Amino acid sequence: MLEPLIGAKNVIVAAAEAKVRRVVFTSSSGAMTMDPKRKPDTVVDESCWSDLEFCKNTKNKNRETDERLILLMLEMESQNWYCYGKTVAEQAASDDAKDKGVDLVVVIPVMVIGPLLQPTVNASSLHILQYLNGMAKTYNNAAQAYVNVKDVALAHILVYETPSASGRYLCAESALHRGDVVGILAKLFPQYPIPTKCKDETEPRAKPYKLSNQKLKDLGLEFTPVELALYESVKSFQDRGHLPIPAQQQDHNKWSKL
């Protein structure tokens, strides 16, 4: 995974040569959450880093099993190169920024959902679409943190424009079990064949990890509720033709007129 490392270094070098005032680096929660030593009750915040050796020797089991999603997330046979690459890229950017005197601020989004900005469905939203279109018959026994794409964009603006901003900023609204996700979807859009059974009911229910988004809140960011982010995701699927609109759909939830 040398490409993310080289790319991060090149950006910092170019910024230093151009005397850029501040660089905002987009990292990933993959650079933060992969740590086998973290206790279940430990709050995930900006001080957390993924363990590189753990990334190299584990498979990302929290993804859905759809082949297209696996390819998009760069999941290899036995190693989590996605999280490994995100971690080394952020570390390289931070180290080079210190060496070259570049003011670097890092935004760390979790799973980004909400309105699509492109015509295709991205990897982060694909599992939501599969819960709606019948491709997923069950949901994984897994937990995931979510954030609205509009909040991610605003976070970048805030850390760039706020003189006192520094270091890393975790961009997350809340963490949910996949069972909670399908429950919200079923409540908002009951017309779709949303799965009701867990793929692995024999194991204890996975617990969402605790997280802190206080640093971004302190900058004035008001996070969009995850329920609204999921609603906007589905409406975007419909508007872009990825999901048929049921003839009997009655959109009476509180966000339908937004």
Catalytic residue numbers, as ranges: 86
Token duo for residue 36: 């086998």
The C-alpha atoms of residue 246 and residue 238 are separated, in whole angstroms, by 10
Nearest to 5 by CA among 130, 76, 82, 90: 90
User: For residues 178 and 146, is the Cβ–Cβ distance under 8 A?
Assistant: no
Q: What is the C-alpha separation between 98 and 220, in angstroms, rounded?
A: 27
Calculate the CA dihedral of residues 119, 72, 28, 96 and round it to 10 degrees: -110
DSSP codes of every residue in 161-193 = H-TT--EEEEE-SEEEEHHHHHHHHHHH-TTS-
CA 185 to chain CA centroid, nearest Å: 18
